[in-house]
Amino acid sequence: MAHSKSLRVIGQSLEAARLTAFELGKDDLDYLVSSDALTAAGEWILRHAVSPTDEPEQGAAQAHTSRSVRFSPLTISRLDDQARKQRRNDLLPNRQAYDRLSQLLRALGDHLDQSDVSAFQISWRDDSALVIFNSLDGQSDSRTFTADKLQQLGSHLRFRRSSGANVGSRTPGLYRPR
């Protein structure tokens, strides 16, 4: 599955958990999200998204500790199917907000897909998104993205999807959420 789709789905879960500062990494097949800012409620939302049959753990009321959640390809596919069904059932068309975390992560994932990245680590903060990655040929690199740059990458992505054009941008920047 493409990084762009996986990161969009994970971003939707992070939006629901109201998480704006986190570490997100991919090595092998799974994505791992961790954050010191994850509240007990946010952790429950993410854990319920990953495994909806899990019961809350005893002592889960402890807030603001380091926590992590693993997203497998099967989980991402299930969450994507749920979101697609929800969009079909919505009576009013939902205009995409391209400054939302899920759309910014989607644009970043598209950039990683175009760069043939095999493994990466994202440090997402209020003022920046630092990405350290390894390409399929074994090269390591890092980039920092701004919200404006990710929105710009997202607009190129939307253009390519709507027109079939192969327009891409690999320009780095910094991220600032609204």
Long-range contacts, 140-143 (Cβ 8 Å, 24+): 143/172
Quick one: three-class SS letters along 75-92?
A: HHHHHHHHHHHHHHHCCC
User: Over 80: is that where the pLDDT of 127 sits?
Assistant: no
Specify the pTM. 0.78
Least confident of 33-37, 65-69, 93-97: 93-97
Q: Which residues contact 160 (CB under 8 A, 6 or more apart)?
A: 166, 167, 168
Residue in this structure with the two tokens 């049959």, named with its chain if needed? 53
For residues 160 and 60, the answer to whether their CB atoms sit within 8 Å is: no
